[in-house]
């Protein structure tokens, strides 16, 4: 016994939102050094599901699972250091964790790593390579991103047919569930059974923390440097649809998205990036921000059309 049965039983309780029983099952499996159980306990404590929210304890569980080379835990540690969840922010350490998870073809880690590269150098080869690898693994954020890149010829040769293919694949995927997905080990005795999909919380770009303080009421123009209108459009486009400008911040996680994508979320609304339950939203349009975005986006599209 390596604890897999307890993890599967805990996953059943988790799906029923019986987090207390889920925690008991995961703790039994964790006593046997089951990496999935350790990772799942980290999720419970990070999100305060059935337990008192405790970032430090969550990080210790992620570290224990990462020592067992669990790719989801490695990705989550990258997320923790990328966003400074209960610790000082450390982008270099975040990059190392993301890369270790990406080597195991963890699609969320590839997406987060691409977003991290993008924050360093913009849409360049390393970021695009990560996005495309994540899209091959059906990461919905990466599929929308690749569709936007090929539609507009950003960092790649414009290919509208390929862009349409990416977007159709993204829209065909089932919408994200309203709670963070835990890890469920595959049943070894039944090799034909389909393994439960493992989806861990992401940072888009970064990635972003699962639970953060409420977003301050400041204009995005004060928060991000903008060198030219191309960077402006790339930075402030909704990372879910890549069609419209962001116009709201989600609380408590702090991720940005457009109101159109927010309205399309399921009834039990959760952040499509990190899957944190949404308690409220904050309008982030101030002054002439919206007008500036539309002006720059039109210039950007005309420039790309001219180049192509």
Instruction: Express each pLDDT in 34-70 by its tens digit.
Output: 999 999 999 999 999 999 999 999 999 999 999 999 9
Residues sharing a CB contact under 8 Å with residue 235, sequence separation 6 or more, in sequence order: 220, 224, 226
- Measured at the CA of 196, the angle between CA 277 and CA 199, to 5 degrees, comes to 40
Please state which of the ranges 74-78, 267-271, 286-290 shows the lowest mean pLDDT: 286-290
Q: Is the pLDDT score of 287 beyond 80?
A: no
Q: Is the pLDDT score of 267 beyond 90?
A: no
Strand order in the sheet with 248-251: 256-257, 248-251, 280-283
Q: In whole angstroms, what is the distance from residue 42 CA to residue 36 CA?
A: 10
pLDDT of residue 217: 34
Whether pTM exceeds 0.75: no
pLDDT of residue 164: 92
Question: Domains in the chain, please, with CATH?
Answer: 1-69 (1.25.40.10), 220-307 (3.30.40.10)
pLDDT of residue 225: 37
Q: In whole angstroms, what is the distance from residue 273 CA to residue 91 CA?
A: 19
Q: Is the pLDDT score of 300 beyond 80?
A: no
Q: Which residue has the higher pLDDT, 176 or 221?
A: 176
Average pLDDT score over residue span 143-152 = 91
Residue 197 pLDDT level (bands cut at 50, 70, 90): very low
Distances (CA, A) of 226 to 3, 125, 149, 229, 232: 50, 21, 20, 7, 6
Average pLDDT score over residue span 63-86 = 93
Mean pLDDT of the chain: 76
Q: Is the pLDDT score of 179 beyond 70?
A: no
pLDDT of residue 44: 94
Q: Which residue has the higher pLDDT, 113 or 238?
A: 113
Q: Which residue has the higher pLDDT, 277 or 144?
A: 144
Percentage of the chain modeled with pLDDT above 90: 45
Residues 226-245: tens digit of each pLDDT: 344 444 455 567 777 766 77
Q: Which residue has the higher pLDDT, 184 or 168?
A: 168
- The answer to whether 235 touches 190, Cβ cutoff 8 Å, is no
Q: Is the pLDDT score of 100 beyond 90?
A: yes
Q: Is the pLDDT score of 289 beyond 60?
A: no
Q: In whole angstroms, what is the distance from residue 38 CA to residue 52 CA?
A: 17
């Amino acid at each position: 016994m390596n604890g897999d049965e307890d993890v599967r039983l805990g996953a059943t309780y988790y799906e029923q939102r019986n987090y207390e029983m889920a925690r008991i099952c995961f703790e039994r499996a964790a006593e046997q050094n089951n990496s999935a159980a350790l990772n799942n306990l980290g999720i419970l404590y990070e999100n305060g599901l059935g337990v008192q929210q405790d970032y430090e304890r969550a990080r210790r569980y992620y570290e224990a699972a990462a020592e067992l080379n669990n790719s989801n835990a490695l990705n989550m540690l990258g997320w923790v250091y990328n966003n400074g969840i209960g610790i000082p922010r450390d982008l270099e350490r975040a990059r190392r964790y993301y890369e270790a998870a990406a080597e195991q073809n963890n699609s969320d880690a590839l997406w987060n790593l691409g977003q991290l590269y993008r924050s360093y150098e913009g849409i360049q080869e390393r970021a695009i390579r990560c996005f495309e690898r994540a899209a091959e693994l059906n990461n919905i954020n990466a599929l929308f991103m690749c569709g936007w890149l090929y539609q507009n010829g950003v960092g790649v040769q414009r290919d509208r047919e390929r862009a349409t293919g990416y977007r159709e694949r993204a829209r065909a995927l089932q919408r994200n569930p309203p709670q963070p997905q835990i890890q469920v080990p595959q049943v070894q005795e039944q090799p034909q059974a389909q393994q439960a999909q493992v989806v861990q919380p992401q940072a888009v770009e970064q990635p972003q923390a699962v639970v953060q303080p409420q977003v301050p009421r400041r204009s995005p123009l004060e928060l991000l440097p903008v060198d030219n209108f191309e960077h402006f459009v790339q930075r402030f486009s909704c990372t879910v649809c890549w069609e419209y400008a962001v116009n709201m911040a989600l609380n408590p996680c702090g991720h940005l998205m457009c109101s159109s994508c927010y309205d399309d979320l399921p009834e039990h609304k959760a952040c499509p990036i990190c899957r944190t339950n949404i308690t409220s939203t904050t309008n982030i349009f101030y002054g002439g921000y919206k007008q500036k975005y539309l002006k720059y986006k039109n210039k950007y599209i005309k420039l790309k059309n001219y180049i192509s």
